[in-house]
Amino acid sequence: MGLKVFISADIEGTAGVVSLLQCVPGEAEYEMGKRLMTGEVNAAVQGAIDAGATQVVVCDGHGNMQNIIPEELHPEAELVRGAIRESLQMQGIDNSYDAFLMTGAHAMAGTHKGVLDHSWVSRMVYSIRIDGRTLNEPCLNAITAGFYGVPMVMVSGDKATVEQTQAVLANVKGAVVKEGYSRYCARSLHPEKARTLIRQTAREALENLAQFKPAPVNDPLCMEIDFYRTDMADAAELVPGMKRLGSRTVSFTGEPEQVFRVQELVLYRLKYEL
Ligand SMILES: [Zn+2]
């Protein structure tokens, strides 16, 4: 049996992407952003196949979760697309997978020179902690994968994101496709060069799969979220089991799968207008 590989894809860490105009449906450069994102995902899929993958599932993990262009996706990959779902960027992961890779990743909110830095939802989240440690999205995803016994083996994105991820998960392979000068400015590889790098890095990581371990996951798991405003914490506090730690801070402790669901609920599904 060949490898079964899970790829989670975001858009902000893609080579050539520096602006919200490339990341938000309806904006002037969104179609370009989608194409660039799909190209990097395809490179990771091909790298996985080069290393012997026979099953590759790609999870679209940005915004409305409908960014990858289905007909332009590598034909050997299956696509998880759309919402509502149970797990933000990891919908469908389970213990049948051999490895997890992430493309297009960005740094956590508050990262200097992190291109389009944020944590899940720019307008809401100042910081998110698991068992006391502030983490970026790739590391949060590695924990979800780790719960199912699946190791994270590669991340691609800007320099700040790769370094931030490797500071927590030292042996995750990194493909740096751009380097930020500021939140909205970067020096980037050409998309073709970026894709070559991602393909090679994915292949090398999967050919050395034995050297990776699933991220350790405590049970119960404690998630804390600092919001930007008090009303966001007011709404989150309505979730049974949620504790209010401060005016803008809540925490939820539970079984890991419960925590992943609460994360999705609080950050993406609690809609309110005042
Ligand atoms: Zn995103």
> From ligand 1's centre to the CA of 204, what distance in Å?
26
pLDDT digits (tens, 9 = 90+) for 101-137: 999 999 999 999 999 999 999 999 999 999 999 999 9
Q: Is the model's pLDDT at 268 over the cut of 90?
A: no
Q: How far is the CA of 263 from the centre of ligand 1 (A)?
A: 16
Strand order in the sheet with 243-244: 133-134, 125-130, 221-227, 249-254, 243-244
| pLDDT per residue as tens digits for the range 60-115 | 999 999 999 999 999 999 999 999 999 989 999 999 999 999 999 999 999 999 99
The confidence score (pLDDT) of residue 48 equals 98
pTM, rounded to two decimals:
0.97
Say how many Å lie between the CA of residue 63 and the centre of ligand 1: 6
Please give the distance, rounded to the nearest whole angstrom, from the Cα atom of residue 11 to the centre of ligand 1. 5
* Distance from C-alpha of 267 to C-alpha of 77, rounded to nearest angstrom: 28
Catalytic residue numbers read: 118
- Residue 73 Cα to ligand 1 middle (Å): 18
Structure confidence at residue 1 (pLDDT): 75
Q: Give which of 80, 63, 112 is closest to 267, Cα–Cα.
A: 63
Give the whole-angstrom CA distance, residue 213 versus residue 153. 9
User: At 270, is the pLDDT very low, low, confident or very high (cuts 50, 70, 90)?
Assistant: confident
Calculate mean pLDDT across residues 223-234. 96
Higher per-residue pLDDT: 134 or 268:
134
pLDDT of res. 251: 98
pLDDT tens digits along 131-179: 999 999 999 999 999 999 999 999 999 999 999 999 999 999 999 999 9
Residue 2 neighbours by CB distance under 10 Å: 13
Q: What percent of the chain has pLDDT over 70?
A: 99
Where do the H-state alpha helices sit in 68-211?
A: 137-147, 159-168, 191-207
Q: Which residues surround ligand 1, an ion (CB under 5 A)?
A: 10, 12, 62
Q: Say how many Å lie between the CA of residue 2 and the centre of ligand 1.
A: 30
Nearest Cα residue to 30 out of 78, 62, 72: 62
Q: What average pLDDT score do residues 55-64 get?
A: 97
Instruction: Output the CA 20–ligand 1 centroid distance in Å.
Output: 10
